[in-house]
Structure 1
Amino acid sequence: MTVQQSLLLIIALIAVSGFFSMAEISLAAARRLRLRQLAADGDERAPRILQMQEQPGDYFTVVQIGQNAIAILGGIVGEGAFSPFLTGLLEYGMAPALAQKLGFVLSFLLVTSLFILFSDLVPKRLGMAEPERLAMLLHRPMRICIVLLRPLVWIYGKITDGLFKLLGLPMLRDERITSDDILAMTEAGTQAGVLAQNEQRVIANLFDMDSRQVTSAMTSRDRIAFFLRDDPDELIRARIAEEPYSTYPVCTHDIDHVVGYVDAKDLFQRALNNQPISLKDEALLHKALVIPDRLSLTETIEQFRQAQEDFAVVVNEYSLVVGIVTLNDVMSTVMGDLMGPDDEELIVQRDASSWLIDGITPIEDVQHVLRIDELPHSEEYDTLAGFLMVMLRRVPRRTDAVTWAGYKFEVMDVDSYRIDQVLVTRLNGTVEAPSPPAIPQISTAAQA
């Protein structure tokens, strides 16, 4: 075989090997969601690719047979094609024995490099760039190869199946899409500019609803504006003007004895019509939904749906009121700054390395803003104030500070044992500055 013939044969072998490499990577990288979309649009090839992905054994067996056979044949042909030519060139400047050895090494490196570049790297990059289109384009030739190599495919397939069963390995790829998969795709979409950051955060919040408790969305006990059932007309009118909220709990004796709630619109209507306001009037009073403080946000929404209510009183295990929550509160937690943009923010970024955070801020939102994956004893608290109490093992005082994960949490203001403001500062630039995220807003529900 002449040098020219050997070169043509090597080029042909590289092309065939590249075909198998491209077929392999395109099938593996083809996105099932994209293939389903193409199938729905009427492309008849997409369902075949989906079926091949579900049972890829024969397909990949043919790929490996072809690639390994071509690699061996390419080495034999390449050594015979280039080694004599290179040896002859090297003999002009060195001993024949040394020239022969060096010519063989150079011939091996040349053939190997050609195969790596043109039968592996280039085809696989092309396959990764447009996997669905190439997988559908190469499907028919690969089906022909499977038919032609059927005996070998059957033998190797049975041996492989036996080894998998013997070792207890999974036979099929798990195609279930998890929440982590969806979040990873949305984060990639955000980085690519397809999704806005606040939209990506909404999606992430939806998947957090099962793990976030209702206490992270409620209006806390000390912020509730409520009426006593015996309050006179003048006091009710004054309270409405001073604290204009959409809903007010109605109690007897104190906040822990809630008998119902009133809508502000009903009170306003009576006030505008100069009608007397009495909370003993059953027409004004609505029955309050009472829920435990250990419910998740998902369970809270289900409670609202079953009761056909959008207002609930949250109680602890001692039947003491710890807060109130509305459907709007839950949705504001999920939607972030897409809802209630005029409300006061719980987290305010002062500069690239510091934040002023309200003590009642849900600890999940603090972790998201600061990009802290884990906090100690996280099961013992729901808010930033709770985190500080657990870390200090006492009620925090002004100027108390806790350092964790490269951040300093310093108490700036305390009002009657309630932590109003916490200054969080990044220490020594140890953590990469996060971009401003979607921050939950304080609820528009009744609060003091």
Structure 2
Amino acid sequence: MSELVSIGVLIVVSALFAMSEIAIAAARKIKLRVMADEGNRKALAVLKLQSEPGAFFAMVQIALNAIAILGGIIGEQALTPYIQDLLLLVYDGPLLDKISFVISFFMVTSLFILFADLLPKRVAIIIPEIVAMRLVSLMRVVTMAIYPFVLLFNTLTNLMLKMLKLPTEREEVVTTEDIVAMMEAGAKYGSLQQQEYQIIENVFELETRTIASAMTPRDQIIYIDVNDSSEDISQKIIEHPHNDFLVCNGSLDIILGSIESKEILRLVLKGELEQLKPTQIEKDIFYLPETLSLTEALNNFKVAPQPFSVVVNEYGTVVGIATVKDLLSGFMGDLITHHDEEQVVQRDTNSWLVEGLTVMNDVIKYLDIETFPDRNQYETIAGFMIYQLKRLPKRTDSFIYEGYKFEVLDLEGVRVEQVLITKLN
């Protein structure tokens, strides 16, 4: 009976070591750091153990192998006599001892596999942080108790790793892809709303998108000519109710300044809007280069708070204007974009109507396409069409890429206005 009790004790002890091994390895560092910051000392102890796991894993392997050996010895001695007595009821031949040993060995091994390995490891992988914090103190005590053996095997392991030119410790580097994958898992299981996940994912794209992908392009800029009559100015404000307007002399290449629409309204109500005067024009214009990323552009707006910026290329030519709202729409999406301003409209399960200036990152979210060729050569779906066709597109021009048909539906001059994307069966 004492031997059977000893087997039970060995199984329990082996289960504790197996649980601690899996739990320490699987415990999420981000969750542990949160608990440690809240004052949980055991979470901090687990983090310290994870940072230097060599001695811990050496101790676990020493303990598990020692228990396995003892379990085999004690188990064979404890169960074999009982099994022999049972076998004598049906068999009393020369192979009785061998058959009894095989059966006892199988039974002891099965008990250890089920109760000392599989079951505890399954529990540890399900709730790793809880198990790790419960057992970390015990594991540290055992490590100190057999420290000479731990030091010996840990040193030998490190020497072998260095001989193989492998690192002795794991470097923990959390990448953008890791964070996005975590957010995606949270959205999948409901702990994170889909819209919140989308916003967080878009935030990581701010560094890869340039201001040119969010600005209003040159040919869509509505400006006031300094020589416009009051009727022309009033008509532009009625048709295009913006907060601010550029004031130019003949074209966008000669910018004199800007004026607020409310200032124009004040002049209209006072009957003083015959023609704009130099004193009524704000001459301080905020310029930004088109090569800036959205992150850099937002930082510039933060340093120099302005309602909008004029975007220029390397030759100093105006290529567009951008407001803070334009930049924020790069990751806020539907929260600040009206439904009638949506750039991608899904017609049915297999087709999408896309505005030409829609950035490729937004298009990719709707399509089951892993990669697009030479992404650094274009930013919008219109740019992708030009890149693939190797010329300026014409209406109805199309091509097939990765099982999707891309077709030009509408043009405004040489600019692609709308693209129809259809998934082919």
Q: TM-score, normalised by structure 1?
A: 0.87
Q: Does 1:248 align with 2:248?
A: no
Deviations along 1:32-62, one digit per CA (max 9) or x if unpaired, are 2322332333333222222222222222221
Instruction: Assess, with a 3 A threshold, how the Cα gap between structure 1 residues 223 and 16 changes in structure 2: closer, same or farther.
Output: same
CA distance in 2, matches of 1:362, 1:5: 74
- TM-superposed CA distance for 1:192, in Å, is 1.6
Q: Aligned equivalents of 2:171 and 2:222: distance in 1?
A: 52
- Does residue 349 (structure 1) correspond to residue 346 (structure 2)? The answer is yes
CA contact (8 A) 2:259 2:280 kept: no
Deviation at 1:355, TM superposition (A): 0.9
Q: Distance in 1 between matches of 2:313 and 2:95?
A: 88
- Residue number in structure 1 paired with 2:16: 19
Answer yes or no: is 1:206 the counterpart of 2:215: no
Identity %: 43
Partner of 2:138: 141
Closer, same or farther in 2 for the Cα pair 1:339/1:96, shift >3 Å? farther
Note the C-alpha offset of 1:308. Answer: 2.8
Distance 1:340-1:80 versus aligned 2 partners, 3 A rule: same
Between the aligned partners of 1:399 and 1:189, the Cα distance in structure 2 is 42
Correspondence for 1:331: 328
Aligned: 1:76 with 2:96 = no
Give the counterpart of 1:49 among 42, 46, 49: 46
Query: How far apart, CA to CA, are the structure 1 residues paired with 2:189 and 2:369?
Result: 23
8 Å CA contact 2:58, 2:154 repeated in 1: yes
**1:260-279 equivalences in 2 (<5 Å):** 260-276=257-273, 278-279=275-276
Q: CA deviation at 1:291?
A: 2.1
The one-letter amino acid paired with 2:421 is V
Alpha-carbon contact 2:206-2:330 (below 8 Å) kept: no
Aligned to 1:369: 366
Q: SS where residue 418 of structure 2 aligns?
A: strand
Counting only pairs closer than 5 Å after superposition, residues 18-417 of structure 1 correspond to structure 2 as: 18-82=15-79, 96=93, 104-276=101-273, 278-417=275-414
* Contact map agreement 2:7 2:71 (CA 8 A) in 1: yes
Cα distance in structure 2, aligned partners of 1:271 and 1:199: 45
Q: Which amino acid in the other structure matches residue 270 of structure 1?
A: L
Shift of 1:341: 3.0
Distance in 2 (CA, whole Å) between partners of 1:413 and 1:95 is: 93
Larger mean CA deviation between 26-35 and 289-298 belongs to 26-35
Matched letter for residue 222 of structure 1: D
Aligned AA (1:382):
E
Q: Per chain length, whose mean CA-contact separation is higher, i.e. which structure has more relative contact order (CA < 8 Å, sep 6+)? A: 1
CA distance in 2, matches of 1:218, 1:106: 77
- The superposition leaves residues 80-107 of structure 1 with CA deviations (integer Å, 9 ceiling, x where unpaired) of 4445655676677789466666655544
Residue 323 of structure 1: SS of its match in structure 2? strand
CA positional deviation for 1:65: 0.7
Q: Give the conservation status (yes or no) of the 8 Å contact 2:7–2:74.
A: yes
Q: Distance in 2 between matches of 1:128 and 1:6?
A: 31
Q: Which amino acid aligns with 2:266?
A: Q
8 Å Cα contact 1:230-1:280 kept in structure 2: no
The CA distance in 1 between the partners of 2:92 and 2:394, in whole Å, is: 88
When residues 165 and 126 of structure 1 are mapped into structure 2, their CA distance, relative to the original with a 3 A threshold, is same
Q: What is the number of residues matched between the two proteins?
A: 425
The aligned amino acid for 1:33 is I
Which secondary structure state, in structure 2, belongs to the residue aligned with residue 282 of structure 1? helix
Which secondary structure does the structure 1 equivalent of 2:242 belong to? coil
Q: After TM superposition, give the deviation of residue 289 of structure 1 in Å.
A: 2.0
SS at match of 2:198: helix
Instruction: Answer yes or no: is the 8 Å Cα contact 2:264–2:273 preserved in 1.
Output: no
Q: Return the alpha-carbon distance in structure 1 between the equivalents of residues 371 and 250 of structure 2.
A: 42
CA distance, structure 2, for counterparts of residue 201 and residue 9 of structure 1: 56
Aligned mates of 2:372, 2:221 — CA distance in 1: 29
TM-score, normalised relative to structure 2? 0.92
Distance 1:175 1:118 in 2: 33
Partners in 2 of 1:99 and 1:354 — Cα distance?
Answer: 75
* Per-residue deviation, 1:158: 1.9
Q: Deviations over 1:369-409 (max 9, x none)?
A: 21433101222111101101111112222222221122111
For 2:295 and 2:326, locate their aligned partners in 1 and report how far apart those are by CA, in whole Å.
Answer: 13
Amino acid at match of 2:317: L
Unaligned runs of 5+ in 1: 429-448
Alpha-carbon RMSD: 2.4
User: In 2 relative to 1, CA 103–402 (structure 1 residues): closer, same or farther, beyond 3 Å?
Assistant: farther
1:426 maps onto 2:408 in alignment = no
**d(CA) in 1 for partners of 2:134 and 2:325?**
51
- Aligned 8 A contact 1:45 1:136 in 2: yes
Structure 2 residue aligned with 1:444: none
Between the aligned partners of 2:105 and 2:402, the Cα distance in structure 1 is 53
The 3 A distance-change label for structure 1 pair 371 and 300 is: farther
Encode CA deviations 1:180-226: one digit per residue, 9 max, x unaligned.
Answer: 22212211111121211121111111111111111111111222111
Q: Secondary structure of the equivalent of 2:409?
A: strand
Question: Which deviates the most, 186-195 or 130-139?
Answer: 130-139
